[in-house]
Each structure stands twice: as C-alpha cells, then as structure tokens.
Copies of this chain bind each other. A is one copy, B any other.
Amino acid sequence: MKKVTINSVASYAGVSKKTVSRVLNNEPNVSDATREKVLKVFKELDYTPNPIARGLAQNRSFIIGCLYDNPSKSYITRVQTGALAACHELNYNLLIHPCELRGEELISNIEHLIQTSRLDGIVLTPPFSDFPELVSFLKSKKIPYARVASAVLEDDSISVRSNDEQGAFEITEHLIKLGHKEIAFIKGHPDHSATEQRFKGYRRALASNGIEFDERLVEEGNFSYHSGVDSARTILDLNPRPTAVFASNDYMAAAVLKLATQMQLRVPDDISIVGFDNAPIARHIWPGLTTIAQPVEEMTQQAVKQLITHISDPQESPYQVTLEAKLITRESTAAIK
C-alpha cells in the first residue's frame, strides 16, 4: 500500500497540485469539469489529505485543548463527549488536559501546553471558565477560547452556559412546595462560579416564599463526596434537625444520604435530600436523588463548535447562549408530614 499524496492525485488527474488543493478546499475558480475529474480521482485512489502538511502550511494544528479540573468523572466524560462530537463534525482533534486550578504555575503550564502542542484554541470548563487570570492570559496571547458553564458573561467571547441560579431556585421551591421550611444548604467549591450561583438561587427561593434565611443551616463543602460527609455530620446533628438538605451537587448529596442512613434516618420520610447535576450516582443509590439535570454535552458541543468556527473564520462574531436546566424528581424528596 503506497501513500497517496496530493502529487499522485495531481499527476493521475493530469492537473497541478494547486488545482487539487483548490478542489480539496472548495475554492472557487475551478471549472466543473476539472472539479469532477479530481473528485473522481480522490475516490479512486482513496485519498485523504495529510492534516500535518496542511497544518504546517497554514500554521494550524487542527487541535483544540480541553481544560478541566473536576472531581466528577461523569461530568468530565460528558464534557468530552460533547467536545468530541463537535470536533468530529468539523474535522478537528481534541486534546484533553486535566490540570489543577490551584496547582503551581497554572499559567506557565498552559503556556507550555499551547507552545508545544500548538493548540488552535482552548475550551475552558468549570472551574476554569471563570478564572480571571487564565482568561486574561489567553486574551493577551490572542489564543481563541470558549467558556463552558461560566457565570460571568463577557460579550466579546464565546460562552455557553445553563442557568444554575434558576435551577437552584426551582429545586429549592420544589422542597418548599412539599412543606419544607428548614432547608439546609451545602455549598460547593469556592473556585467554581456555580457555587455562588446555586447559593443565590437557594436564597431567592427562600425569600420569594417568605422563609427567613438562616445562616446556621449553611455548610461549606467543595463538591467532593468527602466534604459532603463532613457537612452532613454537622447538619444532621443540628437540633432541631432540618427537614431537608440541598447539597450543591449529587456527590455531596449521596454523602448526606449515606450518613443519614447510617444514623437510621429514613429518607425521604425523616428527611428529604436533593442534589444537583444529575450524576449517575443520583440514580444508582437508594433512594434515587431528586436533582437538577444540566445539558452538559450540549453546552460543550455548542461551545466547541463555535470555537472552531471562530478559528476558521475570525469574522464570525462570538456569541453567548444559555440553555435550560431541568428538575428531575426521584425518591429522595417527599412532602413533610
């Protein structure tokens, strides 16, 4: 099997390689006859252009990077799924790059990544999406980027998000409608902008239903299962015990559930628990968790698609989108008796 290059195609079709290149890139100024002739040779020889040679000539790599630092494997996988879908569609490759937000030398780490891998652009997923140092670094270096699930909107950059505040509002209101008034809240990791958004939604729901906010019901978590255990311990020992717990994600909610079960509390009869994200664990435990589902794949896919479009044609003006989050009710919530 010998290699099929643009030269072999050109000589086989009896045209110059530049003409072949024109056909390849759908450029104008090729007569229909020539175009078809070349296209036929493509098929006959089973020709695939070499992206590396192309990249060298155009100073592009056809690679975009995906940055994440997230304890939730399912979230990461969903992000990857969305990003890959967009990449496949637009003939790009995806380079995944897990790294720590608070790791030393984040910026130089990223700079090195961009330098060595010659990324054409970067997708930022939480918590990077709202990390100012990084965003302004990319902006100063003129590296195209897109932000997924960011809270802060900048109008000159690509950003696709879902409404965390609204989701938190809705799930809190769901509890309130079930008669709950003492609703504990476990916060997420302070580096994630979602943390503040979800907290805001919680407070807005309380306020709009005339329930006074009680600071003693709020615990600091960090989205990890482990932090959920710690927070749960404090909350479940409160006297009087709250009748419901809203954990800022499903892992922490699962931790609350585990601890409650260990303490012989029945969920949802004795206490209702809700999470956020609709992670697989939400339906893998008993009782299943009432939670908020976000369209993570969809968000990432749109963000990456936008990003690649922008790279290929910088005229394309970047835009912002907000997608819907959805309440999923399972067995972990019930009306107060």
B225 & A117 in contact (Cβ 8 Å cutoff): no
Tell me whether A48 and B286 are in contact (CB under 8 A).
Answer: no
| B80 and A284 contact, CB distance less than 8 A | no
CA distance A281 to B251 in the complex (A): 10
Q: Which of A23-65 contact B (CB under 8 A)?
A: 48, 50-53, 55-56, 61, 63
A21 on the B face (CB < 8 A): no
Q: Which of A276-311 contact B (CB under 8 A)?
A: 280-281, 283-286
The answer, among B52, B81, B254, B262, for a CB contact under 8 Å with A56, is: B52
Residues of B within 8 A of A258 (CB): 284-286
A50-B118 contact, Cβ under 8 Å, with A77-B73, A84-B98: yes
CA distance A118 to B73 in the complex (A): 29
Please, which residue of chain B has its CB at the minimum distance from the CB of A1? B141
Residue of B nearest to A66 (CB): B96
Contact across chains for B56 and A84 when beta carbons are under 8 A apart: no
Known A73-B280, A77-B73, A94-B95: A51·B118 in contact at CB below 8 Å? yes
A7 within 8 A of B: no
Per assembly, the copies of the chain total 2
**Which B residues touch A73, using CB under 8 A?**
73-74, 76-77, 280
Contact of A117 among B56, B93, B96, B254 (CB under 8 A): B93
Determine the chain B residues whose CB is within 8 A of the CB of A94 once the complex forms.
95-96
Distance in angstroms between the alpha carbons of A201 and B167 in the assembled complex: 48
Contact with B along A233-252 (1 / 0, CB 8 A): 00000000000000000010
User: Smallest Cβ distance from A272 to chain B, in angstroms?
Assistant: 18
A209 within 8 A of B: no
| Interface residue A115 (Cβ < 8 Å from any Cβ of B) | yes
**A136 proximity list for chain B (CB < 8 A):** none
A255 interface residue, CB < 8 Å from B?
Answer: yes
> A282 to chain B: closest CB distance in Å?
11
Which residue of B has the minimal Cβ distance to A50?
A: B118
- Residue A91 is within 8 A (CB to CB) of chain B in the complex: yes
- Contact (Cβ within 8 A) A96 B116: no
- 7 tightest A-B CB contacts, nearest first: A73-B73, A258-B286, A73-B77, A52-B55, A48-B115, A73-B74, A52-B56
| Given A93-B117, A95-B95, A258-B284, 8 further pairs, Cβ under 8 A | A50-B118, A52-B52, A52-B55, A53-B56, A73-B73, A73-B74, A258-B286, A285-B285
Q: List 16 A-B contacts (CB under 8 A).
A: A48-B115, A52-B52, A52-B56, A52-B61, A53-B56, A73-B73, A80-B98, A84-B96, A84-B98, A94-B95, A225-B283, A251-B284, A254-B285, A255-B284, A258-B285, A284-B285
